[in-house]
Amino acid sequence: MSSTSSYYSTPPCAACKFLRRKCLPSCVFAPYFPPEEPIKFTTVHKVFGASNVSKLLNEIQPHQREDAVNSLAYEAEARLKDPVYGCVGAISVLQRQVIRLQKELDATNADLMRYTNYEQANNNQIMENHQERSNFQYGRRMVPSYYSSARNNDISGDHNNISTDNCDGDS
Ligand SMILES: [Zn+2]
Q: For the ranges 42-56, 68-82, 98-112, 113-127, which has the lowest average pLDDT? A: 113-127
Ligand 1 center to residue 27 CA distance, Å?
A: 5
pTM: 0.59
> Does 23 fall in a domain?
yes
Could you tell me the pLDDT band of residue 145, with boundaries at 50, 70 and 90? very low
- Are 119 and 137 contained in the same domain? yes
Q: Which range of residues forms the domain containing residue 27?
A: 2-81
- Are 58 and 103 contained in the same domain? no
Q: Give pLDDT, residue 47.
A: 98
Closest CA to 22 of 36, 34, 11, 37: 11
Could you tell me the pLDDT band of residue 97, with boundaries at 50, 70 and 90? very high
- Are 77 and 93 contained in the same domain? no
Q: Could you give the number of structural domains in the chain?
A: 2
Q: What is the mean pLDDT of residues 115-133?
A: 84
- Are 95 and 72 contained in the same domain? no
Could you tell me the pLDDT band of residue 168, with boundaries at 50, 70 and 90? very low
Burial of residue 135 (number of CB atoms within 10 Å: 0-12, 13-18, 19+): exposed
Give me the sign of the Cα torsion angle 122, 124, 126, 129: negative
Ligand 1 center to residue 32 CA distance, Å?
A: 9
Residues with CB under 5 A from ligand 1 (ion): 13, 16, 23, 27, 29-30
Ligand 1 center to residue 22 CA distance, Å?
A: 7
- Are 13 and 50 contained in the same domain? yes
- Are 74 and 128 contained in the same domain? no
